[in-house]
Amino acid sequence: MSKQPVIFLTHGAGPCFYLDASKEKWCKGIDKHSNCAKSFKDLTKNANFKEPPRAILVLSAHWDENICTVQTNNKPELYYDYSGFPPEAYKLTWNVPGDVTVAKNVKVLLESKGIQCVENNKRGLDHGVFVPLKLAFPKADVPVFQVSLLRSMNLEDNMKIGEALSELSKDGILIVGSGSATHTGLFDNKPADWALQFQEWIQDIVTNPDYSPEQRKSKLLESESQSFLRSAHSRLDHFLPIPMACAAAGL
């Protein structure tokens, strides 16, 4: 089984990648005709997978719990956790299977690393999962399951979850962090200065080859001291999948 990469992706706004900007003006640049949507369709090609993943584990901004929770559902439905969109947004289908055996093994792994963990066999896949991955894996032939974020939004505790999951990549499991580089609900043609600052800052942390894993981790843990973080993320749910993915990748 080939080692899988760890990926962070921005999952857009609601079901944007399935809407048409000629009808929904707000999603201009992120609709179904956009380069963003195309990038997800090309994800498996561009990521240079040596072979398909055995399963996909998603850390989505749209699921947080008081205790780390693993989704154990062999037939997860889609959870349309958005509102105010046209009817077609609630008719999307993606009959992807879950994998209870793999999910339960992940729970055991997390517990072995000292992380309290429970199961949830009822929850469906939220839009942080199906909106991007339905485009990337349209055949729905790879099992998908989620691990929740911690509702405390504590950066260090959530990164520990990422670190605990790191050994799964060599077992053929693709780990996906699904959030957003910025998340304010504001749409404007011109990026704000704080957004550009945040983008430059996070890109440097994630991609600078001169940083050791320890330096990268230290910089991420110090992120709350950055004045522009709360401008970009009033709540850290959409930010946390970035440092969690970094931790899972051992960057």
Write the DSSP string, 71-85. Answer: E--SSPPB-----S-
Instruction: Decide: pTM greater than 0.85.
Output: yes
Specify the pairing of strand 6-10 against strand 149-150: unpaired
Ranges assigned E (strand) in the chain: 6-10, 55-60, 64-65, 68-71, 117-120, 144-146, 149-150, 173-179
pLDDT value for 183: 60
Residue 217 in contact with residue 159, Cβ under 8 Å?
yes
Q: pLDDT band for position 185 (50/70/90)?
A: low
Helices and strands, counts by H and E, the chain: 9, 8
Residue 124 in contact with residue 79, Cβ under 8 Å?
yes
What does the pLDDT look like over 93-152, one tens digit per residue? 999 999 999 999 999 999 999 999 999 999 999 999 999 999 999 999 999 999 999 999
What does the pLDDT look like over 26-52, one tens digit per residue? 888 899 999 999 999 999 888 778 889
Domains and CATH numbers, the chain: 6-249 (3.40.830.10)
Residue with tokens 């690393």: 113
